[in-house]
Structure 1
């Protein structure tokens, strides 16, 4: 069994001798056993880190290099016009903190996510056309993910598109007012402390 223990840089010019095709759920894990596309038993033993992207290269303890491929899996692709309509769709789906892949071409834009009846109903209300199918799901890790920049993914028709994602699933939007309230409270407490300190000085 090849033990894959090292992530190679995205700019590496190393050549893979085999590949392993995994769904997104397994590519989020740092440790697992699988069978490569060439039929070899492999074990992935990585430190906790970024999700394995489609095209990532891993090196075995014995030097062999294996490429990671995103498997076809059930997804929903919501198609809409490029521009404001797609931006609105991304905004409302993004507020749900779900994994999203986003792309487009000259004919329109698309947003891809795992099947979810709530998200599907929301996308339909926003005017998107929905397609249930199987395709690679490789959402972008996010702006703050370690060691990863912008990635590319396959569009509905096999073309490339940009992607975007959020970490976990919630059914409520951000609450910026709450955060502002905390900052205001901190400012008030600090000012109150200064006033109390000054009053003590005058008493003495």
Structure 2
């Protein structure tokens, strides 16, 4: 048995050609929702998956085996119930109400623009039909919503950027404030510079010689 202990969500950062060539692990939701299980890949190898507790696999994820090989995870078709609103007697709002009631019962639920999808439950199917919803059985890949704060709940790429920009602008504001404060203090110091006090100092001043004025008794030729 070969063990796989690393998950790459959605195969992020891997070349598409490598992912396409990788052996496949086709798994239903019940298996993918477990962090430890064994399965057989498309080449017949027995794979032991050991992931951190609480990890769930999604179709498109890639596992890295202990020998460095890659394994592509595929969500296998499985029995599901699909719920749609009645176009003649209902509205899309009926699906919203159905999602609310199923969520109250903590039912793993996949949301799509035109339908809801969950694992077969005859009691829930009957409840939804009484609400004039159309419930049908199908074989399809099942990818229920993750928890709001758990596995697969992303924070958005802009959250960190927002904090950086806010801090950057805030820092600039402080810098401008400090600069203005410094200028104000500098001007204030000049305006209120203390006038030297103490004993007056006498400074001798030499009178400037008056310019020579020619007259009849100056004693030299003109």
Normalising by structure 1, what TM-score? 0.66
Cα distance in 2 for partners of 1:3, 1:48 equals: 16
Is 2:33 aligned against 1:13?
no
- Partner of 1:29: helix, strand, or coil? coil
2:53 equivalent among 39, 48, 57: 48
Gaps of 5+ in 1: 151-204
CA 1:12 to 1:49, structure 2 compared with 1: closer, same or farther past 3 Å? farther
1:38 Cα deviation after fit: 2.6
Cα distance in 2 for partners of 1:9, 1:88 equals: 32
Structure showing the higher strand proportion among its residues: 1
1:101 equivalent among 72, 94, 110: 110
1:21-77 CA deviation, whole Å, 9 max, x = no partner? 111111111112111123222111112132111111110111111111111111110
1:130-186 CA deviation, whole Å, 9 max, x = no partner? 111211111121221235449xxxxxxxxxxxxxxxxxxxxxxxxxxxxxxxxxxxx
1:2 Cα deviation after fit: 2.6
2:41 equivalent among 36, 47, 53: 36
1:124 Cα deviation after fit: 0.7
Q: 2:145 matched to which residue of 1?
A: 140
Cα distance in 2 for partners of 1:84, 1:147 equals: 27
Aligned 8 A contact 1:55 1:68 in 2: yes
Aligned 8 A contact 2:81 2:136 in 1: yes
How many residues align? The count is: 146
- Partner of 1:7: helix, strand, or coil? strand
Cα distance in 1 for partners of 2:153, 2:60 equals: 13
1:122 Cα deviation after fit: 1.4
Cα distance in 2 for partners of 1:148, 1:60 equals: 25
User: Which structure exhibits the higher relative contact order, with contacts defined as CA atoms closer than 8 Å and separated by 6 or more residues?
Assistant: 1
The within-5 A match list for 1:151-166 is none
